[in-house]
Amino acid sequence: MPNMNYITLTIGTIIIIAFSWYFSIREKRYHGFARFFSFESIFILLMLNLKVWFKDPFSGFQIISWVLLFVSIYPGIAGYITLHKKGKPEDNHIERTTVVVKSGIFKYIRHPLYCSLLILGTGVMFKDPGKLQLILGAVNLLAIYFTARIEEKEMTKKFGPDYLKYMTETKMFIPYLF
C-alpha cells in the first residue's frame, strides 16, 4: 500500500479490534465482527487518502467527498442521541438498549449509525477513488450490510415480534428506499 505508515496501521487495527471486542463480541453480539471490517476499511481509506485530503478542493470528487462527509454526521449523532434518550440502555451502554426505539431518526431507518458509517466510508473513498479505494469502499458497504443483518437477527431474538413489526415499518438505511 503506497504511502502508508505500517506502524499507524497496526496500532489503529489493534484499537479497532479492542473496540469490537469490548463493545460487542465479548457479550456474544456478533455483529461486532462484521462491523470490524467496516471500521478497518474506513481506517485504511483514511490513511490512503490523507495525502489528498485538501488537495484540489473544488474538483468533482472532492466536492462529492465533502458533501458525503458532512451528511454522515447527522444520522450518526441523531441515532446515538436517540438511543441514549429513548433506548433505556443498561449501564448507559447503547448496545444494551432495553426497548425498541421507534422515534426520531429510528422512525425512518433502523440503522442510522450504520448509515452514517456507510456514508462516511463512501465520502472518504471519494477523496481519491482509485482501484484500491473502490475495493475498500465496496468492503465497507458489504460489511455494513452484513453488520445490520446480523444485528437484526440479534434484535429479533431479544425483542421478538415487536422488532419484527418494526422491521416492516422502516427501511434499513435510506428512508422510503432501502
> For residue range 7-32, what is the model confidence (pLDDT) as tens digits?
888 999 999 999 888 888 777 788 88
Domain boundaries, the chain: 6-169
> For residue range 113-171, what is the model confidence (pLDDT) as tens digits?
999 999 999 999 999 999 999 999 999 999 999 999 999 999 999 999 999 999 999 99
> For residue range 72-128, what is the model confidence (pLDDT) as tens digits?
999 999 999 999 999 988 887 778 899 999 999 999 999 999 999 999 999 999 999
User: CA quadruple 88, 71, 147, 15: dihedral positive or negative?
Assistant: negative
**Cell numbers describing residue 56:** 484540489
In 24-160, which residue ranges form alpha helices assigned H by DSSP? Answer: 31-49, 60-71, 73-86, 112-125, 131-159
pTM: predicted TM-score of the whole model, two decimal places: 0.90
6-169 is a CATH 1.20.120.1630 domain: yes
